[in-house]
Structure 1
Amino acid sequence: MSNVQIETVTRKQLCYESDLYIDVRSPAEFAEYRLPGAVNLPLFTNEERAKIGTIYKQQSREAAIEAGVAIYAPKWPDFFAKAKELQQQAPDKRMVVYCWRGGMRSKTVAATLALLGIECYQLEGGIRSFRQYVQQSLAEQAEKKRDYLVIAGHTGTRKTEILSRLAEKGYPVVDLEGLAGHRGSVFGHIGLAQKSQKQFEYELMARLQELDDSSYLIIEAESKRIGHIVLPEFIIEGKKRGTRVELVYPFWKRVEHIYNTYQPEQYASEIWEAVEKIKKYLTPQLYKELEALREQADYQKMFATLLEFYYDPRYAHAAKQYPSKAEVLEYSEIDTAVDKLISLIEQWKEQEVAR
């Protein structure tokens, strides 16, 4: 094994279109963060990785290596078969193996595959080097001079859908909630798979790089956190100084949209768990009313009650933090909102150029 030549590539040499990435970290590590399009072929399960880590800390590096080999060796035929199948499916792609920091896991796999005739490369520094690149790139994005158009509006005004329509038409939209896999409220995780901070920052970086030539960005008015995701400070500052558009959508249409989005028949328990999380902010009388509506399965009325007595008052309070007034855009149909917003954006762009 020591005589096998392991070819390596650096982060700068990666090519997402023509590379096949094999991530040999545990499923939990892979789920948290990974290279674009990577395939997870883990050497160890989450539990096995934890066991080896404990041996490393409590005994020695050598003992951990021995334990790792004992666990990994029986898996090798299946691992090799999967790697060979992936190579056959994409014969023109360069296979790049990586782990966390380009250590023993990826080195072992790359060397063994090479020994058995599968050409592959090891990523120098592992995904850690990619993570450093993401952080550096976001720091560079923070230095760019850009205007911000901030789309605000009460809960249920269909801001995400409107932003998606704008993005389809080529406008420089950064869908922060979409990147986070979360809708922003205590209910925002329901029916979604929220991404990790690392994955969010990578996808944010990628989107900002796509919009590198744009002099402005369109974002939704978010708080500092979207679920457990913390937004970069430069996005928060851009929101504060940006030009705001306040979307105004009829109350009962908002209720209908929330009902359709959260699918209470399917996610009833998750919805009530979310209500329990905000219980301390509710009056006893309001909480009892929500309990009764839950028992009756009257979710439309429950959502209407939450909007009227919890979300709307909180939104009104938060809106006071902005020093300037927003441009108000009223609509009852999404197509109308998109058309009005495009007209407003074009006028705003002309004004910015004139300045």
Structure 2
Amino acid sequence: MPIDPYILLLLGTVGLAALLPARGTGAELASGASTAAIALLFFLYGARLSTREALDGLRHWRLHGTVLACTFLVFPLLGLAARGFVPVLLTDPLYQGLLFLTLVPSTVQSSIAFTSLARGNVPAAICAGSFSSLVGIVATPLLAAVLLGGGAGGFSAGSVTKIVLQLLVPFVAGQVLRRWIGGFVTRHRKVLALVDRGSILLVVYTAFSQGMVRGVWNQVSPARLGGLLAVEAVLLAVMLLLTWYGAKALRFGRADRIAIQFAGSKKSLAAGLPMASVLFGAQASLAVLPLMLFHQMQLMVCAVIAGRRSHDPDPLDAGTAEAAAVAEDVDVTVRIPVGPSRTGAGTGTRSG
């Protein structure tokens, strides 16, 4: 089972916030830096997303529509159904975090990686992940306003303004400036990836520091964490089964089904953490805990599935082999025209 090294960094950041939480002036500085980091993240998201590739990908609209439906319709419905686990397995704050997890967009990088490993439709996975991230900038806050209500840090007109300024405006600015900075972003992708991850670590530190100062972690016990993991395991299993067999029922081919399964059953930690910081404020530390756990769980399970799918026989190769076997077993007599002979015969036979 693979352990994402970045998860270890996130856990280390949580530990640092538990031991040395930001207080007073330090908390104000950390909060300001976190706000700037979130704006930078979404600016880079906008600068990376190729508008032409996104428009070209619309040709496979059935696949992308299926992924979006799984991400922003089926997932939230399952999240609402999980309300039945409160208070037996989940506390109300943990349930709010679980419901928020079901609202965030799909991943991009890991969906592409697993689709490639399983020999699926990689271009479709790229476009599906990109569309999901793009739609999520608007859909996730709107769904949070409808489904979470007051649980999302008191969702209000001020929250909408904050979302627009911190998420949407930087993203649009990145798209507008992509024409001039797109090449720079592509050439320095590795360095900017470190900036992305460092920004998210800062967001996590700020959120968990606020949680420690306010004492919200006193609400979580080992038993509650175990219940949360059990609920998330069921949620992931249901989505993996629905995306695989649902895509089959919709008559998608094997390659498309793989892309749908990996893009439609996963949630983005990179997009979800900054959004939670904006939506939940001081309660963000508990809100992002279900997402962090689900992220690691989906990586472990999907890595196993992708590895097994990579050993599936290629349908094209199987069809070719079957046709060759049939040709060897059947004696075919072909009557072909031949040139006129000296005796005037115009046809002949050749057996094979």
Report the TM-score, using the length of structure 1 for normalisation.
Answer: 0.23
Larger helix share, 1 or 2: 2
Bigger relative contact order (CA 8 A; separation at least 6): 2
